[in-house]
Structures are given as structure tokens and as C-alpha cells.
Chain A
Amino acid sequence: MNVSRLLPLVVVVPMLGAAVLAAGGRRLPRIASDSLGVFFAAVSAVLSAVVLAGGTHEGPYVVEWLGGWRPGAGGQGVGIVLAGEPVSLGLTAFTSLLVVAVLVYSWRYFEEPPRRRTGSFPALILLFQAGMCGFCLTGDLFNSFVFFELMGVVAYALTGFRVEEPRPVQGALAFGIVNSLGGYAMLMGIALLYARTGELGFAQVGRALDGQRADALVLAAFVLLAAGLLVKAAAVPFHFWLPDAHAVAPTPVCMLLSGVMVELGVFGVARLYWTIFAGPGGLPPEAFTRALVTVGVLTALLGAVMSWRQRHVKRLLAFSTVSHTGLFLIGVGLLTPEGVAGTSLYVLAHGAVKAALFACTGILLDRYASVDEHELYGRARELPFTGAMFVLGGLAVCGMPPFGTSLGKAVAEEAAGHTGHWLTAVFVLVSALTGGAILRAGVRIFAGAGPRPDGTGGPGGQPDAQEGTQEPVTGPLTDGGEQPETAGRLRRIPGPMLVVPAGLLAAALAAGLVPQLGDGAGDAAHLFATHDLYEAAVLDGVTPHPEGGPPAHWNTAGVLLGLLSTALGVGIAVLGVRRRPYPGIGDRLLAPLRRLQSGHIGDYVAWTVAGLALVTLLTAPGTHMLP
């Protein structure tokens, strides 16, 4: 059988699994429904790997016209195409593997699943997988909107899964409203492109735009599409939903949200740019770079600073995800194959590390019913293995060689250095600050380092209280009122909850050490970032034989910068631990930033519109505004 025939199965096998679990889950014992979930997720992972391997033999692009609606000459068809190349197939394989890891990790989670519904949690996770894989592989605008919404709908439900508690429902609602708004903006953009070109496929739309001059319609379409995807990617100022959702979602869900879903937003922007807007009739490259790098730098810095300010560990990790997404946006916005290669590796390694960190945090939550850095001070000394993994994860976030995060960062920051040396500094600073925050929390919780934080009014509390605002001294987020996600507090940590983060960290290490991965990332990035190759592969069936991209390998500068950011991160963490938490000048400066994160849906929506305006203003110069 032709390997491309298998491409849709990557997406639909999890759907089938979800249906089986939803129907049978009511009669099956817990263990059976969990195993079924793992089975379907794993089949999809294997299929992705088979297609990826098959693709490298037969030609990097695996193209499948669904329903057999292969277009005639000139690419005029009526069907939907799935197009996998190494970047998107790598992402689906990674997503599926992470889903397997999450399902294994949650073996003991939700000891009391909703009555008679043991299958509903794994079924929702499988649908999430289907949504993400479909989004990666599709080559059709409207189809990508459908999968965008599928991811969204499942993610809102999963975020609010623990309805017994007040915060998850609120976080899920903010998530749902802001993301849906982004989705509708995206759909407007799709409608504009359809009106102009009469096509929906990426390749067809891209080819139709090639023949004309870019005008306000093309600009608006780009802005609307990008805004929708940047909401998913949690770029500033679209990011407000993310910390609220990730801090309250069940831990296994956080692993998926932070590990891949957010990154898919970045992938989406990049994919749409190169397939549709990178041609002569699209968006000027400098406009794209200006928009993505500006938004990326803002996101990276804001996320890093906010991450440092948190004492709620899940929220700290969530802001660190925001921050790293900013770096990914910069890497993609450079518009070079090196930037894409580095970013791809970075995304994979970061996803694994971040999922491992969330997994460790989940252990804390289930044992101590708290994820508050100050409350947990020194209490987790009894968990040396978990603590070691947490600290290793923090070092990986800092960019310590030889983790894949460090390699990805090194390659991306070298590419960024060609655009401006200050961008390299942003990479180093942001890695150090987010990694330092994680290390600080880690050594406090797992080693009891530094003086005991008194827990009231400290930096993680509300510095605003000093200024006489109406906010309470200890915000509701820091009152430790967390519920473990297992039946009772864990006495002994179950094996799967330890094996999964260990495996994920090993994967992140492998991403930095396996040179084939770096070679592959280089070639993949070249394919991914070439407008014409996609059109030719999808519409003309031309198998590209590219000269190959620059491989993503270690070099001295990268290693040194990685060591530098690690040293900085450790230094910041030591300072943070030793300092008795009290509001200083920095806190006063940051108070307004913290106030922006208000939890108010109206605010978040207003910021989303502001983001639309910001992207418009950043991309408009240089585009012909009149038709």
C-alpha cells in the first residue's frame, strides 16, 4: 500500500478510539479503558512514524487527496489534501508520543472518574490528539479551522474537567471565549482569501496569490489568520488566557497544552506564511519578520518576568511556556532555514521538558495538595528522585548542554544573531530567567534551600497590597487551596508517574545528542521554509530533491552561550532563594504588569482586539493598501 494512504489514519484512529471508549467505557473497568486509550494513541504514533520513514524513502512530501479528489492540471480541484513533510509529520509523531506518555502518567489520576464514565477522560485526550494531528497535516484552510476548533473544544472541556473546584471552570471559560474569538477571526481571514482566489487549499491559494499584487485584502487575511493562531500560541497580547488555563487544568492536560498545543499555534503561523503568503503576491518578508520578531520579543520578555514572579508552580511553568513561545516566534520570524531548524528542535525538546516538569508538579500536588513554592518549602525533601528530575528540567529550560533545548536554542539564537545581536541576548536572558525561576522553586521545595519564605505578602503574594490597592494580601491563587487529582493524597508515588517524566527528560537529552535528528531538522526546515516546493509537491506532484538545509549541530559559540545562560539561571536562582521575599523596587515596577493579568474576560477580549490592531500596524507598512 502506498504510504500516503496511511496519512489520514493518523488523524482518524484516535477518533475511532474515542468512540470506542465513549461507548464501551461505561462497562469497562478502569484498567481496560486506560489500556485501550494508550493502544489507540500508540497506533497513531506508529502510523506517523511509518509515514515519516516512508516519506524519507520515497520523497519528503507525502501528499494524499482525500476522497480521491485529485485535482486536474492547474491544480483545480474540489477536495481536501493532507500534506505531510518532515516538520509536520515530526510534530504529529511527537504529539502522539506525548499523548501516550500522558495517558500512561494519568494511570492513577482521577481515581474516581465521573461515575460510569471511566472512558471519558482518555476519550477526550484521544480527540485532542486527533485535533492536533489533523491541524498539523491538513493542507486546506477551512479544514485547518475545523481542526483548530476541535483542539479548542476538547481543550476547554479538559481544562474545566475538575468542576468541583472554582478555578478550573473560570480558567476554562476564559480559555474558551478568547480562543473561540481567535478562531472566528481566523475564519474571516479564510473567507477573504476564498473570495479573492476562489480556493481553499494552501497551495492553490498561494499559487493564485503569486500572480497578483499584495493589497489590503491580503494583508487583512494574514492579520486575521495570524491573530487566530497567535491566540493559540499565547503571544502577547493574546496570551492572557494561558496562565489562567494552565494553572488550573488537570496536570496531564497541562502536559499536552504546554507541551504541544501552544506550539502548534506557532507552527500554524509559519505554515500559512510559507505556503500562502511567502510568494510575490503575499506579504513582504520584512513585514512578517517585523511582526513576528516584535511580538516574539515582547512575549519572551513578559513571560520570563511574570514567570519569575510566580510562586504557584503550575502558573510559573505556564508563564515560562509563554516566554518560550516568544522565542519560537522569533526563531520562525527570522525567515531563515536555520531559524526554523533550531526552532523545530527547540519545540520538541521544550515540549518534552515542560511536560516532565508538569508531571513532577503533579506529583507534588497529589502528595501535598499544594503547588505553592512557599508552602512546600523543604517539604519534598523526601522525594529526591522527583526533585532531581525537577532540577534537571529547570537546567534544561536554562539551555544547559547537551539537552535538546540547548541545541535548539543555540541554532535559533545563532540565526537570530545574524539579524541583530540583541536578539541573542534576549534568548540568553529569557532562558536564564525562566530556568532560574524553575530552579528557585525546585531547590526551595525539594531541598529547603535558603531562609523559610514566610508566605505572606511576599513577591508571590500581592506586592500591590503594599500600595494600598484593594487586592487581598494573599491572593486566592496562593492560598494553597488545591485538591489532589487522585482519590486521596499519594503516600507512595506510583511507578508510571515517575517513569514518564524520566522518559521525557531522556527524550529531551536524546534530542540534543542524536546527530541524525539535527541533520533531519536541517533538511526538514529547508523544505518547510520554501514556498515553491510546497506548491509543486501538492499541486504538480513534483518530488523535491532539495540540496538539503544547513544541519542543526553543536558549535562552540552555542555551547558557550548555553553554559552562560545556565550559569546565569543558577545565579538568579541562588539570589532568589537567599533573598527573603519582600517587595522591592522591581516589584513596584512590575505591579502594573501583574494587574493586567486580571482574570477578567472583558479585559482579555479587549487585549485580543488590541493584538489584532498591533499585528495590523506591524505588518501594514510596505503593503499596498489600495486595491
Chain B
Amino acid sequence: MTRRGRLVLFLAAAAVVAVLLVAAFLGLPQFGGSHHPYGDRAVRAAFAHHTANAVAAVNFDQRAFDTLGEESILFAAVLGAMVLLRQTTGERRRPPRRARVSPPIRRLGMVMLPVALLVGLYVVAHGQITPGGGFQGGVVVATALHLLYVAADYGALERIRPLSPYEIGDAAGEAAYVVTGISTVLAGSAFLTNVLPLGTFGTLTSGGTVVLLNAAVGMEVACGVVVLLASFLDQAVEIEAPPGNNGAGPAEAAGGGGNA
């Protein structure tokens, strides 16, 4: 289709969809209203299982199976990205260039790295009590490591980040979640039943399996995001297309020569 034809088709169709959506929104309950039956039940269920963060209770207890699916999506995406961004036949790997970083940035990075790491671990560990949890904390941990890329250079990052343990950690996080569920089945309960002692409301050990599942997810997300970013960074910094490859552009393909 021509650009014009495409736009006309879209606008005509979008008009119909817009009418449908507005008509549907008119039928929605009042914004800000009090009718949230599932939400109210979820809060009561969270209390029953001594989980102060009701969102975590939904994610890791009441609807923990959703989170297993979600974790598997992340796991699949990391695996997929590793496969898609692999070094293909004919592509070379060149050692990353050493980068000059201005001293203030270097100092700031070095100070922030342990702080960020700690914050990430804190967020994972307190998921059942305060906002946050495995996903949020895991991402903070992973990005904390990448401060080294900002504060030093890619070579330095690679030294603290041998990928193998992270790949294994990623898989172990996924496996831990599944194994937790299967053990509850072996114990005679339904899959992912919260069988552990529930602890005291509002403390670090409250929430039963929520703590375990949070940790499994935290590990998977932290390791998975490291591996995911590594796949992209490798493309940007290290992997070079062979000269004259398929008429494609020069090595800037993947977004320039990395950090300068």
C-alpha cells in the first residue's frame, strides 16, 4: 500500500474503534469509586497470610502462577536475545577499547555502585513488607553492576561479569520457582500453596513462601537482566560485522562504537 492508502485505512478503522472504546468507557464504573470486590478480597487474603504488601501477596501468593508465567517470559526473552544476538559466522570479536572517564564520574560511579547494589538487595528482601520485590530489586541490582561500565569501561565490566554464573543464576531462579511449586504438590497441597510458617505480620520473615518466591525472582531478574544487557552491549561494543557484509552499513549497525 502507499503511505496515503495505509493512513486512510488506519484512520477509517480507528474511527470505528474509537467509537467502540468511548461507548465501552461510558459503561465503566465511576472513576475512583468504591466497588472493588476482588481488590477487597485480595487485601483480606493478604492479611490472612501475614503479608503487609498486598501487591506482593497478589503477585507471589494469590496469583503466584501468573508470576511464574511472567518469570518464564523474562527467562525466554533472555534466552531468545542471547540466541538472536549471538556472534554469527563471519563476525569478529574485537577487544573493547579502553575508555577515558573523567575522574568525578569515576569517583561517583565507584561510590554509587555498592550503594545501588545494597538498595537493590534491600528492595528484593523487603518485597513482602514494602513496595518493591524481586522484579524491581533485581533490576536495580543488575543496573548497579553496569555503573562500572559508566564509571570505568567495558573491559572492567566484563571482568566482574563472567557471563556463565549469571546464565546459571538466571536458570536457577526459574528452576527454584518451579521446584518450590512442585514441592508443595509433593507435600500434598495444591501447586504453589503457601505452606511455610507465615511469621509475624510486617517483619522480614512474614508471608511464608512469598519470601522464597521473591528471592527466586530477584535472582532470576538480576542475572537475566545482566545477561540481556550483555547481549546488547556485545553487539554494540565487541562484535564487528565482516567487511562488505551483505551490503549492510558499517559496524555502526548496532548503535555506534560503545562508550567513548
Contacts and interface: CB of A to CB of B under 8 A. Distances in A.
Q: Answer yes or no: A and B touching, Cβ < 8 Å.
A: yes
B244 interface: no
B32 to A, nearest CB: 12
Contacts of B1: 595-596, 598, 600, 603, 606
Interface stretch (B121-129, B131-139, B176-184): B176-184
A467 interface: no
Interface in A101-149: 114-115, 117, 120-121, 123-124, 127, 130-131, 134, 140, 142-143, 146-147, 149
B75 interface: yes
Chain A facing B: main interface SS: helix
Given A19-B171, A157-B76, A216 B64 contact: no
Interface in A203-250: 215-217, 219-221, 223
A153 B28 CA distance: 31
A80 B65 contact: yes
Nearest to B88: A164
B174 interface: yes
A620 B181 CA distance: 44
A22 B80 CA distance: 11
Interface in A49-105: 64-69, 76-80
B56 to A, nearest CB: 14
A616 B18 CA distance: 11
A470 to B, nearest CB: 12
A612 B68 contact: no
Contacts of A215: 27
B17 A606 contact: no
Contact of B17 (A68, A194, A613): A613
A257 B212 CA distance: 35
A192 B35 CA distance: 14
Contacts of A156: 80
Interface stretch (A10-18, A282-290, A392-400, A535-543): A10-18
Contacts of B171: 18-20, 22-23
A15 B23 contact: no
Interface stretch (B38-46, B96-104, B141-149, B153-161): B38-46
A31 interface: no
A156 B21 CA distance: 29
Contact of B191 (A5, A146, A217): A5
Contacts of B69: 131, 134, 143, 146-147, 149-150
B10 A606 contact: yes
Chain B interface secondary structure, helix, strand, loop or mixed? Answer: helix
Contact of B45 (A78, A149, A219): A78
A130 B36 CA distance: 32
Contacts of B6: 600, 602-603, 606
A39 interface: no
Looking at B24, B83, B171, B174, the one whose CB has the most chain A CB atoms below 10 A away is B24
Nearest to B195: A68
A166 interface: yes
A64 B192 CA distance: 12
Nearest to A221: B24
A198 B191 contact: no
Contacts of A217: 23-24, 26-28
In the complex, the 4 A-B pairs of residues with the closest C-beta atoms, listed nearest first: A157-B80, A220-B24, A217-B27, A216-B23
Given A23-B175, A220-B23, 16 more contacts: A16-B178, A22-B75, A67-B62, A143-B63, A147-B69, A149-B73, A150-B73, A157-B76, A163-B88, A200-B38, A217-B27, A219-B20, A221-B24, A609-B9, A610-B10, A626-B26
Interface of A: 1, 5-6, 8-9, 12, 15-16, 18-20, 22-23, 26, 64-69, 76-80, 114-115, 117, 120-121, 123-124, 127, 130-131, 134, 140, 142-143, 146-147, 149-150, 153-154, 156-158, 160-161, 163-164, 166, 169, 192, 194-196, 198-200, 215-217, 219-221, 223, 595-596, 598, 600, 602-603, 605-607, 609-610, 612-613, 616-617, 620, 625-627
26 contacts: A5-B185, A6-B185, A8-B190, A16-B182, A18-B75, A20-B175, A22-B167, A22-B174, A67-B194, A78-B45, A80-B63, A120-B82, A124-B79, A127-B79, A134-B69, A147-B69, A150-B69, A150-B72, A150-B76, A602-B3, A603-B6, A605-B10, A609-B9, A609-B13, A613-B13, A616-B17
